[in-house]
Amino acid sequence: MIKDNYRHKGKRQQLVNIVKKKGITSQSVIEAIGKIPRHLFMDSSFEDHAYQDKAFPIAADQTISQPYTVAFQTEKLEVEKGDKVLEIGTGSGYQTAVLCELGAKVYSIERQRELYKKTKSFLNKIGYRPKHLSFGDGYKGMPNYAPFDKIVVTAGAPYVPKALLGQLAVGGRMVIPVGDESQTMTLFIRKSLHEFDKTEFGEFRFVPLLEDKN
Ligand code: SAH
């Protein structure tokens, strides 16, 4: 049974206020956070914590990202309706749902088979319809569906994968946390075939982007 009651809605409004206080201003991102039942994306034992601004464990030793982090990355992407967006690290599907709410055509890759399967059926069940979910290695991107208007990497990348920059459309934006222990949130904007603008933001902490699939 899928439940989203007034208590969840109330807590979600508090989460919206926290995310705003931390500096998120994009109206569409705020609306998505206010709308998506985050508690359903987590194990029921964490249900009471679902509207705290924190990361929590999901299956396969992975985490659902902190809502502020999801909002921050999404805001930097500047998603417009109809954009083709590639997400690396489907995980719980929460970020995928945010992108769907913004009207993006979402393509997402997950390297943990268990999560890939679970999240694929869950998203379908609650009515989110990404264009394509794939089980595979995000370092390689999705060459068959490239180019993408936006790319968001939701695991900590030790370096910037060349394949991903290559799959970005000219004018496109990629948001990627780069680093080992902690990660610097980095925005790349593709100016032309060979030119990228790079902007760095603050430090964040993600589970690592691992090579190959599991
Ligand atoms: N976007 C997710 C974040 C999950 S944490 C959410 O909103 O819940 C990061 C995810 O990236 C994990 O599920 C992890 O398994 C996945 N991941 C790590 N390395 C990967 C890779 N090389 N390719 C695809 N997914 C990867």
Q: What is the pLDDT of residues 13-72, one digit of tens each?
A: 999 999 999 999 999 999 999 999 999 999 888 888 999 999 999 999 999 999 999 999
Banded pLDDT at 183 (limits 50, 70, 90): very high
Give the pLDDT confidence score for residue 181 in this predicted structure.
93
Give the pLDDT confidence score for residue 214 in this predicted structure.
78
Banded pLDDT at 2 (limits 50, 70, 90): low
Decide if 65 is catalytic: yes
Give the pLDDT confidence score for residue 212 in this predicted structure.
78
Beta bridge partners of 133: 108
Nearest CA to ligand 1 atom 2: 91
DSSP alpha helices (H): ranges in the chain? Answer: 6-21, 27-35, 67-77, 94-101, 113-126, 162-166
Whether ligand 1 lies within 6 angstroms of the CB of 111 is answered as yes
Which residues 6+ apart lie within 8 Å of 162 measured at CB? none
* Residue boundaries of the structural domains of the chain: 6-204
Nearest by Cα to 196 from 174, 213, 163: 174
Give the pLDDT confidence score for residue 44 in this predicted structure.
86
For ligand 1, the distance from its centroid to the CA atom of residue 76, given in whole angstroms, is 19
Residue of 65, 92, 108, 134 with catalytic role: 65
Whether ligand 1 lies within 6 angstroms of the CB of 120 is answered as no
Give the pLDDT confidence score for residue 1 in this predicted structure.
54
CATH topology of domain 6-204: Rossmann fold (3.40.50)
